[in-house]
Amino acid sequence: MAGTSLLDPKLDFVFKCLFAEAPDLLADLINAVRSVYYLARNLGRQLQALSGDDLVRYQAFVRERALHDEVTEKAQARAEGKAEGKIEGKIEGKIEGRADMLHHLLQAKFGQLPAAIEQCLQTANEAE
């Protein structure tokens, strides 16, 4: 099957009928295929010329490295932010645990606490 063609215009009945009735359509098809071919060939030559230029290759390398560095920095910043958040969460949890323990100890020793003291316990920071 490697040697057979998928479309043979000399044998294809639809091709013959279509272009026999509209020969200008055949000319348009040939011109369109030709223009796409020449466009692709010219773009290929331009790309080859650009890739052969040392300065352009170096600039592309620098752009690629900058994009890679940006992605890496963002990932590193995200990981650092996560770690800081965990540490802050643990500290807040310890403070709340100590405040709860103090609240329970005071309640066990003195009974029901006044609202002002309850408020002080809730708003206190670690140093207080």
- pLDDT above 70 for 123: yes
Q: Look up the pTM and report it.
A: 0.41
Residue 59 lies in a domain: no
What is the domain range of residue 26?
A: 9-52
Across 88-106, average pLDDT: 86
Q: What's the chain's average pLDDT?
A: 82
Are 103 and 113 within 8 A, CB to CB?
A: yes
Across 48-63, average pLDDT: 81
Residue 124 lies in a domain: no
Give the amino acid at 58. Y
Handedness of CA 7, 9, 15, 16 (dihedral sign): negative
Residue 46 lies in a domain: yes
pLDDT band at 128 (very low <50, low <70, confident <90, very high): low
Type and span of the H or E element at 2:
none
Residue 35 lies in a domain: yes
pLDDT of residue 103: 83
DSSP SS3 for 44: helix
Contacts of 102 (CB under 8 A, 6+ apart): 121
Residue 78 lies in a domain: no
Across 57-70, average pLDDT: 90
Separation between Cα atoms, residue 96 and residue 122, nearest integer Å: 8
Q: How many residues does the chain have?
A: 128
Residue 79 lies in a domain: no
pLDDT of residue 1: 44
Helices 23-51 and 13-21 cross at an angle (nearest 10°) of 110
Least confident of 6-10, 73-77, 116-120: 6-10
- pLDDT above 60 for 6: no
Number of domains in the chain: 1
Residue 93 lies in a domain: no
